[in-house]
Structure 1
Amino acid sequence: MQSEIITLRESRLDIRDGIAEFTHTQPRRRNPLSLALREDYMDMLDYVEGDASIRALIITGADGVFSAGGDLRGMKDRVDNPQAPQNMPDATRRRVLVLHQWVSRLRDLQVPVIAAVDGPAVGAGMGLALVADFVLASSCAFFGMSFAKVGMVPDMAAAYFLPRVVGMATAKDMMLTARRISVEEAKNVGIVHSIYPPETLMEQARQFARRFLDGPGPTLGMTKRMLNSAFESSYAAFVELESNAQAVATTTPFHRDALQRFIAGEPGRFDWDRVAAK
């Protein structure tokens, strides 16, 4: 397994033993989802998508701050200089469209994505956490759809993702009130998978990610794609997707090995319950 540390503009990518760990590194600014960090996400995805040895991705923030959302200083410059070409409405529209070029890639990444959230995950920061497959949080974490506080609509596709996680009524409550959401409430409504003390969060996230190392990588990737399309596909289209994916999955070396192990009475390589019980 390779080990590599890549320093980007406002983040760091650590690749070690099959796990990629992407850290926002501007905690003094509360790790805003700035234009520079958005570019970092595109570069990070190039690395992760191009390395078949990576089996899971962790996204997190340094020093107890996941992300406090958009870059409000940059937004103020836009308001103060509304006639500048980069601040015109069409420029904002194009920036949002570019944003979704990497958000969609992160959502459909072929490996499990784990958000390790310590401290604030609000506004676009909460939207970013919603893109992950699993959210592990510290007891100091909190969330919020704070867009209305600054007169903005939710972005990062939060209005798409959040109702699918918590239901429409709860999503309206969170978005229209822009209230703070405790980590306990976030877990109760299904946003957060597990809560840990802040000092153990990252090690717990790494242990969680390592459980996927022996898993059926391509099959997990296809399962993610199927789930991501489940609410938009007709039954007929979904059956076609399922049949094609199963035709591929049943030809993989992992499938053949798993059958041999089962018939021989040997433990399987990928057994989440057995590993968790150790």
Structure 2
Amino acid sequence: METINFEVEDGVATLTLNRPQRKNAIDAVMREELKEVVFSLPRRRDLRALIITGAGGSFSAGGDISVMGQGTLTPEEGRDRMRHDYLSWIEAILRLEIPVIAAVDGPAFGAGFSLALTADIVLATPRSRFCLSFMRLGLVPDCAVFYTLPRIVGQQRAKELAFSARDFDAAEAQRMGIVLEVTPEGRVLERAQQMARCFANAAPAALAMTKRAFNVSMNSTLETMMDIEAAGQAVARTTQWHTDAVQRFLNKQPSAFQWPSKLD
């Protein structure tokens, strides 16, 4: 592909935004290529995790400003294009039943920041910078950030980040709960791969149901969540993975699933 790289190895898919000369800004070509790849992911039964990262020392500068303002669209046409060209594949990422890890090195601005927030786990380096920069361009934050960001940082902080359009570093992002870990410079992808590979030894059904349950929990009642929990546990108990895990425990063998410790 012209603007992204996509590789799968041992059940781990790595999607790399690859326009380093433009800090991986998202243009029309990249949008279509992202859509093509992302829509193919749910059909693949060999995948256990997805890593999203950027080439050349940037995650993504967001939408490509150099092509903004070209052409004239009515509000209705603009809304339809936004839903079709962006929100369709953003929603597809959010609905994936495998863990998604964003490996952020360098800037994640605008839609690039929004893209990082679609991940279940966000890793960063000391040189990572984050910014909900839409207000600088007189735009509304997009790519599902109204859904993702308040669930991570709360309504007041989400509004402050949107209203101010200020940029902030990885340490502050970690304090706000946006970033899980700040890795040594140059090793964020290594850490993401280390985490992703461990899911090859996790129970696929239990992992998928756990992710789906957390994704709907903020909009659900206690009764609904207990029903989801009960149904999910009933299914998980019937899987071969659970049976094998119980036998390993009874035989005093270590669990097949082991979360990797931090990088040295």
After alignment, is 26-35 or 214-223 more displaced?
26-35
Aligned-residue sequence identity (percent) comes to: 40
2:218 aligned with 1:231, yes or no? yes
Mapped partners of 1:26, 1:139: distance in 2: 22
Q: Give the alignment's Cα RMSD to 1 decimal.
A: 1.6
Q: CA deviation at 1:124?
A: 0.6
User: What amino acid maps onto 2:10 in structure 1?
Assistant: D
2:49 aligned with 1:63, yes or no? no
Partner of 2:82: 96
Q: Of the candidates 189, 194, 200, which is equivalent to residue 181 of structure 2?
A: 194
Q: Of the candidates 107, 117, 120, which is equivalent to residue 133 of structure 1?
A: 120
Partner of 1:43: 36
Mapped partners of 2:262, 2:163: distance in 1: 42
Per-residue CA shift, 1:105-148, capped at 9, x if unaligned? 10121111000001110111101101100011111110001000
Per-residue CA shift, 1:157-212, capped at 9, x if unaligned? 11221111011121111110000111110011110111123322211211121111
- What are the residue-to-residue correspondences of 1:93-242 with 2, within 5 Å? 93-98=79-84, 99-242=86-229
In the alignment, is the contact (CA less than 8 A) between 1:61 and 1:118 conserved in 2? Answer: yes
Partner of 1:15: 8
Q: Of the candidates 45, 49, 52, which is equivalent to residue 52 of structure 1?
A: 45
Mapped partners of 1:247, 1:115: distance in 2: 31
SS of equivalent to 2:212: helix
Which consecutive residues of structure 1, in runs of 5 or more, have no partner in the other structure? 1-7
Q: TM-score normalized by structure 1?
A: 0.90
The alignment covers a number of residue pairs equal to 262
Q: CA deviation at 1:265?
A: 1.4
Mapped partners of 1:222, 1:36: distance in 2: 34
2:261 aligned with 1:276, yes or no? yes
Q: TM-score normalized by structure 2?
A: 0.94
In the alignment, is the contact (CA less than 8 A) between 1:25 and 1:62 conserved in 2? Answer: yes
In the alignment, is the contact (CA less than 8 A) between 1:31 and 1:61 conserved in 2? Answer: yes
User: What amino acid maps onto 2:261 in structure 1?
Assistant: A
Q: CA deviation at 1:61?
A: 0.6
In the alignment, is the contact (CA less than 8 A) between 1:108 and 1:224 conserved in 2? Answer: no
SS of equivalent to 2:36: helix
After alignment, is 244-253 or 41-50 more displaced?
41-50
Q: CA deviation at 1:95?
A: 1.7
SS of equivalent to 1:199: coil
Mapped partners of 1:238, 1:195: distance in 2: 32
In the alignment, is the contact (CA less than 8 A) between 2:39 and 2:89 conserved in 1? Answer: no
Q: CA deviation at 1:53?
A: 1.6
Q: CA deviation at 1:277?
A: 7.6
After alignment, is 19-28 or 228-237 more displaced?
228-237
Which consecutive residues of structure 2, in runs of 5 or more, have no partner in the other structure? none
In the alignment, is the contact (CA less than 8 A) between 2:11 and 2:49 conserved in 1? Answer: yes
SS of equivalent to 1:128: helix
Mapped partners of 2:150, 2:171: distance in 1: 18
Partner of 2:70: 77
Mapped partners of 1:92, 1:73: distance in 2: 18
Q: CA deviation at 1:68?
A: 0.5
Mapped partners of 1:142, 1:250: distance in 2: 43
Per-residue CA shift, 1:206-226, capped at 9, x if unaligned? 112111110111211111110
Partner of 1:4: none
User: What amino acid maps onto 1:32 in structure 2?
Assistant: A
In the alignment, is the contact (CA less than 8 A) between 1:20 and 1:48 conserved in 2? Answer: no
After alignment, is 205-214 or 232-241 more displaced?
232-241
Q: 1:160 to 1:46 in 2, by over 3 A?
A: closer
